[in-house]
Structure 1
Amino acid sequence: MADSSNLLAEQRRAMILDEVRRRGGVRVNELTRQLNVSDMTIRRDLDALARAGVIEKVHGGAVPTEAARTHEPGFEAKSALELTAKEEIALAAARLVQPGSAIALSGGTTTYALAHHLTEIEQLTVVTNSVRVADVFDRAQRQQSRQAATVVLTGGVRTPSDALVGPVADRAIRSLHFDVLFLGTHGLSAAAGLSTPNLAEAETNRTFIASARRTVLVADHTKWGTIGLSSFAELSEVDTWVTDSGLPAEAAEAAREQVRELILAGVEPAEDAGGDEPEQ
């Protein structure tokens, strides 16, 4: 695609739509380079095309309308997106973990980032359906010559994002109880709640939520407005949402109407005054 920084918005959006249809999907960071415009400009273009019903936004980009609900990126593809935001979210979420607690981490690249910050917290019991998360604690144990945490890996059928889902995972999770669940999501919105393209993963996430005393969603701002095939929770089921400062003000306002506590990672507490006080 040629440099098109001076193209009118309509022309630029036509080129984006052509790329989506030709390739079956595009990523925001690719379009910013190809069209020589800002990340925000591309996101506005994608919003406009989504409103027109010709594409649907997915995490990090867009796919044709007919593919959006079932499009599930692999772990490696997702891990390259929003790295700074995920690290900020992981740091903020790690502060919510108390030594000696029993916690659960669902699959996903943000929970994977969080796991790296939990290996120094003493006497944790970690329940996870993420092969990647379990590997983080295993590597930490080998490097530290001590047990970083007691890790329970659920078993199940492996998804493209390296999460274990299905009846085996569900039975294991249903028999356990944990203080805090750190939950990732493919997408979320005020109307659809939390959603995923994977039907089995949706059921496993529901089981996670039912077994947790407190649910903490860890999801960056690009997940807002993305809707997968299957919803697995209402926003009102989330006790705390830890996200980044890129979340638009209107999205933050909508989230605060349903989520008990909204934490904007990297923002001073005085500027992040929303929801009730966190649990003691």
Structure 2
Amino acid sequence: MLAQQRRQAILERVRRTGGARVAELVRDLGVSDMTIRRDLEVLANRGLIEKVHGGATATGAGSTEEPGFAAKSMRQQTEKDAIARHAARLVQPGGAVALSAGTTTWALAHHLVEVPELTVITNSVQVADVFHRAGRSDQTVVLVGGVRTPSDALVGPVAVAAIRSLNVDTLMLGIHGMSPRAGFTTPNLLEAETDRELVAAARQLVVLADHTKWGIVGISTIARLDQAHVVVSDTGLPDEARAELSEHIGELILADPARDREPGRRIPAP
């Protein structure tokens, strides 16, 4: 592959997915780490991408950028489903669990419909709809009110007031990004406030985040890394992230999308 063809391939991936990591590009394009870094430098100098630690993001992608639910649901589908199946094993029948908004928690909801006598608290329209469609009489689903965001979360004072009076066993938290400095973050200020109330309401915090979330920083912090009891990610998580998370959290679970994929199962499109 010629240098120009390789750079075009990198640019297309960054624009399609919102970002790319050096390690992934090295693996997929079959060239050296130094070659990829030079390619990223060339593309960044042309103003086509923005270089970040360990990779690149699409130009204009900032701490307040918030993709819509449908767009996010197309990203890392295999990883999200593997993460969801591992996270579902942490939920016991008869318990009370909160699910924040997000496409990974939405994938989790498709597995939790199999857990009997579950009480679910959520600020996600999409998550609530999964349980509604399942129609189980032994499950109770509470959808808090609020203002709807592009990611189909209900946020703001109404949601905060409703959540403040609740107590749950576990919060399954979907996030926009995570980093050592900023912790777990979101690009939406009101959603951050609502998610912080969910964190406060739960005895256990489980964060669901595929490997692409590492190094991404949204404008507002939901929780510090050391507030998470468990982080469920996937085997694409870089070594530096594994070391950092293992130092701060109680348990790091890495789902293997290649091995953990359930034959014949496909999460339906939203």
The answer on 1:62 being equivalent to 2:57 is yes
Instruction: Tell me how far 1:62 sits from its aligned partner.
Output: 2.5
Decide whether the 8 Å contact of 2:123 with 2:144 is kept in 1: yes
Give the 3-state SS of the residue equivalent to 1:203 in structure 2.
helix
- Change beyond 3 A, Cα 1:207–1:56: farther
- Within the candidate set 76, 84, 89, 2:83 is matched to 89
CA-to-partner distance for each residue in 1:249-276, whole Å, 9 max, x for gaps?
1110011111111001139xxxxxxxxx
Residues 1:183 and 2:160 are matched in the alignment: no
Query: 1:46 Cα shift?
Result: 11
Letter in 1 for 2:198: F
- The equivalent residue for 1:276 is none
- C-alpha distance 56-148 of structure 1, shift in aligned 2 (>3 A): farther
Q: Secondary structure at the match of 1:87?
A: helix
Contact 1:120 1:148 in 2 (8 A): no
What residue number does 1:103 align with? 97
Shift of 1:64: 2.5
Distance 2:211 2:87 in 1: 15
Classify the secondary structure of the residue corresponding to 1:209.
Answer: helix
**Offset at 1:27?**
2.2
TM-score (norm 1): 0.78
Question: Measured at CA, do residues 133 and 198 of structure 1 come closer, stay the same or move farther in structure 2, by a change above 3 Å?
Answer: same
Residue 3 of structure 2 is matched in structure 1 by 7
SS of the residue 1:71 aligns to? coil
Give distance in 2, aligned partners of 1:116 and 1:242.
17
Equivalences for residues 136-175 of structure 1 within 5 A: 136-141=130-135, 146-147=136-137, 149-175=139-165
Q: Alpha carbons of 1:13 and 1:69: their partners in 2 closer, same or farther (altered >3 Å)?
A: farther
| Aligned partners of 2:18 and 2:58 also within 8 Å | no
| Distance in 2 of aligned mates of 1:46 and 1:113 | 37
Q: Conserved in 2, the CA contact under 8 Å of 1:27 and 1:62?
A: no
User: What is the aligned counterpart of 1:26 among 12, 15, 27?
Assistant: 15
CA-atom RMSD in angstroms: 3.6
What is the rounded CA distance, in whole Å, between the counterparts of 2:123 and 2:173 in structure 1? 11
Matched, 1:118 2:108: no
1:264 maps to: 254
2:245 to 218, 236, 255: 255
Cα deviation for residue 147 of structure 1 reads 1.5
- Structure 2 CA distance, aligned partners of 1:40 and 1:205? 40
For 2:72, give the aligned amino acid: K
Gaps of 5+ in 1: 268-280
AA in 1 matched with 2:197? T
TM-score, structure 2 as length reference: 0.81
The structure-2 alpha-carbon separation of the partners of 1:132 and 1:248, relative to structure 1 and needing over 3 Å to count, comes to same
Alpha-carbon distance between aligned partners in 1 of 2:194 and 2:29, rounded to the nearest angstrom: 34
1:238: which partner in 2? Answer: 228
SS in 1 for 2:203: strand
- Residues 163 and 197 in structure 2, CA contact (< 8 A), matched pair in contact too: yes
Offset of 1:48 from its aligned partner?
5.0
Give the conservation status (yes or no) of the 8 Å contact 2:170–2:202: yes
Aligned partner letter, 1:7: A
> Match for residue 272 of structure 1?
none
Residue 117 to residue 72, structure 1, CA distance change in 2 (3 Å):
same
Shift of residue 96, structure 1, vs aligned partner: 0.4
Structure 1 segments, 4+ long, off by >3 Å, are: 13-16, 28-31, 43-54
CA change 1:242–1:40 in 2 (3 A) is farther
What is the letter of the counterpart of residue 92 of structure 1? H
